[in-house]
Structure 1
Amino acid sequence: MIRYALICEHEHEFEGWFGSSGDYDDQQARGLLECPVCASKAVRKQIMAPAVAGTRRTVQDEGARPSRAMMLEAMGKLRQHVEENFDDVGDAFAKEARAIHEGKAEARGIYGQATPTEVKELVEDGVPVAPLPPEPPKKPQLN
């Protein structure tokens, strides 16, 4: 079986499986291929890298992906930056964020706690909010 990445004239991307490359050509010539999204018959193959079974993942491949440790470090730095530069308003976060958004309080960076309901209401009202990354796990103490 051969898998082709396909795209229609409206840029909808999908894949198709064929017994051989000749099967794709035959179905294309007979107008049997169509986009599953818009039913367009103007379907073509996309450029794609071949998938080779049984190859080993190289060290270079592993290095291309961010490691868990790197992600945790970045999240920790973001949290530290917020804690050092923003005002902690505690459980008054929703009230203060809304006041800043409406121009009733000084515009500044804040952080604190809010209930899921409060966060939902803030988002629905267009108040920009984002969760603070969790505290990074503590490094184990070595003996």
Structure 2
Amino acid sequence: MIQFTLKCDQDHRFDSWFKSAAAFDALAKAGHISCAVCGSSQVTKGMMAPRVSTGKSQIEVEPVVKDAAPTPVLSEPKGEVEAAIKALREKVEATSDYVGADFVKEARAMHAGDAPERSIYGEARLDQAKELVEEGVQLMPLPFRPKRSTQ
């Protein structure tokens, strides 16, 4: 396993683990890596310092620096927009059913009256979403990727 520091085109930085550097490259090329903060798929490796093991078991203690800025935590929103996106995600997850790749099928069935109406969310390609809109299905893109698809 290898840990990379990643950066999106909106300059959000976050860390993620991969099986290998080749695994990261394959996932990035296929568009399966997205920013943990804004969902952008324009993600690259950030600058990192290598971790070198000496083979000896050592306990490392970080020095305490008085009045140092706290280390940012990924789960804490940095601004109003990120806080609003976090609140929207929580509301969608609490009040809607995640249908994953079945989103298009489920949305069509509800629109046709073949399935009971309910709030759903999931994944659809852009061309599929356009077809649904042309058919009169009401939908909207979400400013985040579902947690299930990002884990």
- TM normalised by structure 1 equals 0.45
Larger Rg: 1
